[in-house]
Chains A and B, each alone.
Chain A
Amino acid sequence: MIRKYALKRLLVAIPSLFIATVIVFSLSRLIPGDVVVLMMEENQYAQDLEEMRAKLGLDRPIHAQYVEWMTRAVRGDLGQSLYTGRPVLQELARRMPVSLELGAVAVVFAILIGVPIGIVSAVRQDSVRDYAARSAAILGLSMPGFWLGTLVVVLPAIYFGWSPSIEFTRFEDDPWRHLAQFLVPGCLLGIASAASIMRLTRTQLLEVLRMEYVRTAWSKGLAEHPIILKHCLKNSLIPVVTILGIQIAQILSGTVIFESIFGLPGMGRFLFDAITERDYPVIQGINLVVVTTIVTVNLLVDVVYAYLDPRIRY
């Protein structure tokens, strides 16, 4: 049954991924002429128009271009950076771990903050604590991450003469400092996700609390703790798994900002630099990797969801 569902879900994911690759592919076909001129004059990526077209792979019929681009991508060849001349995949492989570490710290923070507060908020519904938690969550969703990042760098420097490191330390050089440098940006990046997770945990738990089996548990005289933690939480956390897919997309967006502020040489920073340098093969490569990751994560999340909750069969 689960296998059949997984297969069905995979069949839906394939056309979406195909369309997404077409969107990524179309990016460099949308470059206006004056930008191409800039690419040759300012960035000196090519001598003349012919060479530029060849470098961007624009010199053949469009379907042939797509097929060739995809075949190469599947083999792990995402083209070469116009700026550094190195293969895009090689550059990405170096920077990807930094973004993954940052993202992992953010997810851990988001869950550690979001789930407990969501539980308290639901169990004590309409109490002062509930209102405070909900307002804090909306506030967390309202504050721009780049502003918090700026404040965290600027304010302690003024008042305490200390600020988080904005120089990158590699793991080989100093493992402890390497991990410590992700704490502040990871925590800030996790705030918005924590707020979403808190809100979802709260609504889900409220729904479960009203179910018959919970009423039975109350009436047979169980204490509050085992009811909430053993009977309710497992069921109410299942949907929380599903928004992890959405959160990962959000966190990947956040890496662009936080890696720029905190000087982390990750994928987000790489994308930002590529955009500044009009390095289109890199932009396309990053988009392709990111979109494939997200489609895959969402597919896995859905299958895991169906596995955890056997009632779900769309």
Chain B
Amino acid sequence: MPEPVEVTATGQWPAARTRAGAVRRALSGAGRFCRRKPLGALGAVIILALLLMAGFAEWIAPYAYDEQIPGARLRAPGRDFLLGTDNISRDIFSRIVHGARVTVTVSFATVFIANVLAAAVGITSGYFRGRYDICVQRVVDAWQSFPFLIIILSLLAVLGPGMPNIIVSLSILVAAAASRVIRGATLSVVENAYVEAARAIGCGHVRIMARHILPNVAGTIIVLATIGLGGIILAESALSFLGYGVPPPHPSWGSMLSGSGRTYMYSAPWMAVWPGVAISLVVFAFNMLGDALRDVLDPRVRGSSRQGRDI
């Protein structure tokens, strides 16, 4: 929905039209978001921490992810090792910090590819409708009827493990689900008079879809991407747990909970706890932020709790 243009009493353009005004507006918007959605803001802070960890892993982690520290096997969490060490004397905190890089790479790459694909499929499908839409939707149906872990493991069994293959197969599945939602949003945007007006002044299909429809379904795409990131992180960690994730020695949170370490967990429970805490915290953050963004960006949900108080 386009923002109403505010004109000041003197007839000048609002402050937002200048660059400094835009920054001020963005900041005050962020402040308002934090006040109205404290849990969403908390999510955003956790995600920021995750991104910093992934970007500056070498500086934050006290040890390298594969460094075996002599005489420090299976140490409990304490002053020397914040989260303890594992069965081959590696610092768990350092491995979690480096593992953030795998998590961020896989999830952001997947969500980017998936949403570009989903937007292309969803917008064209909702815009052209007719026979093209019917055909595309049956393919989407087909992809959606596979349980994700079963089809992804099967795809990886065929393609072989490795990061690019994980990203590609996750993207296809995520895109199928997301395109359905984007199509729905497109269907309602297409009904607007400005789309008809654009067509009347001779705009081409591509221009209408890119300049008039895409900006209006962008909110939906952002919400889908945010919530999708949490799901993708869970999926990636499950694959790593089963041994089909990013190959060793690169640490991934899921694979830290599987493999040879499992037998040592009975004597070193911290090995079983911290990677799971990291996954849960990050996914929780994405879900919280996604929910908050949906409340702010999705006009259908916006203000619904206020109506609820009427009864």
Q: Which residues of A contact B (CB under 8 A)?
A: 12, 15-20, 22-23, 27-28, 30-32, 35, 125-126, 135, 138-139, 141-148, 150-151, 154-155, 157-158, 206, 209-210, 214-215, 218, 249-250, 252-254, 256-257, 260, 268, 271-272, 274-275, 278, 280, 283, 286-287, 290-291, 294-295, 298
Contacts and interface: CB of A to CB of B under 8 A. Distances in A.
Interface residues of B, number: 54
Contacts of B156: 275
A144 B145 contact: no
B146 A290 contact: yes
Interface in B68-89: none
A145 B154 CA distance: 20
B92 interface: no
A154 B266 contact: yes
Most-contacted residue by chain A among B157, B257, B262 (CB, 10 A): B157
Interface in B231-246: 234, 237-238, 241-242, 244
B280 A143 contact: yes
B142 A138 contact: no
Given A142-B284, A294-B147, A257 B234 contact: no
Nearest to B276: A147
B191 interface: no
A157 B266 contact: yes
Main secondary structure of the interface of A (DSSP, over half): helix
A135 B39 CA distance: 9
Given A151-B272, A210-B310, A291-B145, A256 B157 contact: no
A107 B164 CA distance: 35
B17 to A, nearest CB: 38
B242 A260 contact: yes
B141 interface: yes
A146 B145 contact: no
Contact of B238 (A16, A35, A146, A252): A146
A35 B151 CA distance: 18
Main secondary structure of the interface of B (DSSP, over half): helix
B158 A30 contact: yes
A268 B154 CA distance: 12
B238 A144 contact: yes
Contact of B269 (A144, A155, A252, A253): A155
A287 B154 contact: yes
19 contacts: A16-B145, A19-B139, A20-B146, A30-B158, A143-B276, A144-B238, A144-B241, A144-B254, A144-B276, A146-B257, A158-B266, A209-B308, A210-B308, A249-B145, A256-B242, A260-B242, A275-B154, A286-B150, A287-B146
**Shortest Cβ-Cβ A-B pairs, 8 listed:** A147-B276, A253-B149, A19-B142, A16-B141, A142-B284, A142-B283, A20-B142, A253-B147
B64 interface: no
B37 to A, nearest CB: 13
A147 B146 contact: no
B291 interface: yes
A125 B241 contact: no
A256 B288 contact: no
B148 interface: yes
Given A15-B138, A144-B279, A256-B242, A30 B305 contact: no
Given A16-B138, A146-B257, A286-B150, A154 B265 contact: yes
Interface in B210-245: 230, 234, 237-238, 241-242, 244
B303 interface: no
Nearest to B291: A138
A272 B242 contact: yes
Contacts of A18: 142
Nearest to B151: A287
B150 A253 contact: yes
Contacts of B265: 150, 154
Interface in B246-271: 254, 257-258, 262, 265-266, 269
B281 to A, nearest CB: 8
B288 A23 contact: no
Contacts of B288: 138
A30 to B, nearest CB: 5
B273 A151 contact: yes
Given A20-B146, A283-B157, A125 B276 contact: no
B166 to A, nearest CB: 14
B307 interface: yes
B311 interface: yes
B310 to A, nearest CB: 7
B138 A142 contact: no
B150 A252 contact: yes
B188 to A, nearest CB: 16
Contacts of A283: 154, 157
A8 B192 CA distance: 30
A139 B230 CA distance: 12
B238 A257 contact: yes
A28 B157 CA distance: 10
Contacts of A151: 272-273, 276
A295 B153 CA distance: 20
A148 B304 CA distance: 34
Most-contacted residue by chain B among A20, A210, A290 (CB, 10 A): A20
Contact of B287 (A15, A138, A272): A138
Contact of B146 (A138, A141, A291): A291
Interface string B152-194: 0111111110000000000000000000000000000000000
A295 B145 contact: yes
A290 B150 contact: yes
